[in-house]
A = this chain, B = another copy of it.
Amino acid sequence: MLLLRHCRGLTRVDLFKTQRVQLLQGAALPVAVCAGSLCARWGSSHGGHKSGQYQRSHGPNWRHALAGLLAGTGAVLAYGLHHSQTEQAATTIVQPIAPASSLPIYTQDEVTKHRSVEEGVWVTYKGSVYDITEFVSMHPGGDKILLAAGGALEPFWALYAVHSQGHVLEILSEYKVGELSAEDRRKQQSVKSTDPYSTDPERHPALRINSLKPFNAEPPPEILSDNYITPSAIFFKRNHLPVPQVDPKSYRLQVEGVSGGAPLSLSLEELKTRFPKHTVTATLQCAGNRRSEMNKVKQVKGLNWGIAAISNATWSGARLKDVLLAAGYRPEVAQQTSHVQFEGLDSDVTGTTYGASIPLNKAVSEEGDVLLAYQMNGEDLPADHGYPVRVVVPGTVGARNVKWLGKIIVSDEESSSHWQQNDYKGFSPATDWDTVDFKSAPAIQELPVQSAITQPAEGAVVERSAEEVTVKGYAWSGGGREVVRVDVSLDGGRTWQVAQLQSSEKGQVPAPSPPPGRAWAWKLWELTAPLPPAAQELEIVCKAVDNSYNMQPDSVAPIWNLRGVLSNAWHRVKVTVKEDEEEQKLL
């Protein structure tokens, strides 16, 4: 039966601490999380599960919610994972676990009876049967594990490559309760398992990959700030699911829920020709940008983004407002409804699609500039960025800019998706996974003011003979609030200098100041300052101010949150000043 480890003396925090060295050395986070989770089950028991049928009567809402959790955060599941690690794992680590002859044989029918916590949660993997009932509450990805209940793990693990690692199998092996009957093993093997990511597009080799499946990657910071408009190829990629293959000829965009209007269905051609083409330069930022800095304070759940999960592009398409008007939307409707939901065409094995919503007033505002974009930087949207149509919600967190857009629903409710309800929300540093109530915080929409240093890099060496140092970076704020100033310090924040702001490509005539509340694009900034005479090390710090005069918080710990989102403390980079050899001789 199950090995019940007793580790009363160890708190989860302690475990995180002991695992941190391992993490910094490149090990993936799930090790820490799962270890913590396994230890946490010291008080639970394995008995008391009754047999019973899977309750179909839970209905589509339940299924939808759980499926959302499953498709859930690649964030939660795939963090810290590196391309090469994944490839290696897929080819070498994943091996069938050898049958232990002492265990009973079960048929698929018997396994299928165990599909809930009440009846026990059984799964199969490569011919073995596992009772994972007790692991459900400890699963780093949450309840989504229940979707595999009563069946095979393989199709789910194919979706989240993070499972293909040795330690995951090690955890699973502790829950083994039997073998699948020979007949059912043959049936399973006859179902060819395909990789849902096999049709994902080629990517630029410069990208730093945080997760391969789903694909999440950011450009190197020093390349990011080379262009005011980020080239599409290196624009950060943040996928929650496999990239769907959409045929532009058969593509239809559905618009529903407009009170008094009829459902509207638009072809790509109709979207392009029936509505005026509107172009907006807008910066998108992942809620998890700079999460790695929070990880240094205390481990969080999520992809370990550096400072480059943010990019700036020119987007063209139909205004959402115009499409909603064509679907029958009238301002009076705003009294009854207050959200516009989006569904992507990217889906998990259950068919649940990525989803999100934005407030109706943003969607229909003349000044909201929300686009149903079919072009990025003057060309068709790349596959990774939502071909053929994505939503662009300027000033709003990346997660609401739904890609591969399939459906728009005007509603009096927010999207019920996992990403709207149980992810992408901010909490107090006092809130942990035991106390978190996702209903208590609003879904992130507008993002706070942000800036970071893209050059020099942490640990860089500056020659004393250069006499000065050039610092570069980006700054942006959500909600259309324009960045009006960036302060830079070379001495850890004791003294400050004001950087030069740049709101167009270098050498081009600067764009005129945007109308109030519509500053959707970032500013790049630069400061060249004399090297402080005596300093052997510079702690370079930047902080931005937007035109509501919101400032970045000074430090990370007080804004730390369990999902590692909204990481916008002052950005700090330490560099060494190298004395010239001649001067060194004199010293």
Quick check: which of A12-20, A30-38, A423-431 contacts chain B, the rest being far away?
A423-431
Check A101 for interface membership: any CB of B closer than 8 A.
Answer: no
For A431, list chain B residues within 8 Å (CB). Answer: 498
Q: Which of A367, A543, A551 has the most CB of B within 10 A?
A: A551
Task: Please measure, in the bound complex, the distance between the C-alpha atom of A550 and the C-alpha atom of B496, giving whole angstroms.
Answer: 22
For A446, list chain B residues within 8 Å (CB). Answer: 481, 547-549
B548 A478 Cβ-Cβ under 8 A: yes
A444 B554 Cβ-Cβ under 8 A: no
User: Using a CB-CB cutoff of 8 Å, which residues 540-587 of chain A contact chain B?
Assistant: 543, 545, 547-555, 558-559, 566, 568
Check A449 for interface membership: any CB of B closer than 8 A.
Answer: yes
B448 A550 Cβ-Cβ under 8 A: yes
**Residue A361 contacts which of B495, B497, B516, B555 (CB distance < 8 angstroms)?**
B516
Contacts A446-B481, A449-B550 supplied; 16 other A-B pairs, CB < 8 Å:
A338-B515, A359-B516, A361-B516, A426-B485, A429-B496, A430-B487, A430-B497, A442-B547, A445-B548, A447-B548, A448-B551, A496-B558, A551-B553, A551-B558, A554-B554, A554-B555
A447 B543 Cβ-Cβ under 8 A: no
Task: Please measure, in the bound complex, the distance between the C-alpha atom of A497 and the C-alpha atom of B428, giving whole angstroms.
Answer: 8
For A448, list chain B residues within 8 Å (CB). Answer: 548-551
Check A517 for interface membership: any CB of B closer than 8 A.
Answer: yes
17 pairs of residues in contact across A and B, judged by CB atoms under 8 Å: A361-B515, A361-B516, A361-B517, A428-B485, A429-B496, A430-B487, A430-B495, A442-B547, A448-B548, A448-B549, A448-B550, A479-B479, A479-B548, A543-B558, A548-B550, A550-B550, A552-B553
For A493, list chain B residues within 8 Å (CB). Answer: 558
A496 B553 Cβ-Cβ under 8 A: no
Least Cβ–Cβ distance between A532 and chain B, in angstroms: 14
B554 A429 Cβ-Cβ under 8 A: no
Check A319 for interface membership: any CB of B closer than 8 A.
Answer: no
A: contact size bracket: 35 or more
Residue interface bits A418-441, CB-to-B below 8 A is 1, else 0: 000000001011110000000001
Closest 5 CB pairs of A and B: A554-B554, A446-B548, A359-B516, A448-B550, A550-B550
For A444, list chain B residues within 8 Å (CB). Answer: 549
Check A362 for interface membership: any CB of B closer than 8 A.
Answer: yes
Check A206 for interface membership: any CB of B closer than 8 A.
Answer: no
Least Cβ–Cβ distance between A79 and chain B, in angstroms: 21
User: Using a CB-CB cutoff of 8 Å, which residues 392-416 of chain A contact chain B?
Assistant: none
**Quick one: given A431-B498, A445-B548, A554-B553, are A516 and B484 in contact (CB under 8 Å)?**
no
Least Cβ–Cβ distance between A151 and chain B, in angstroms: 39
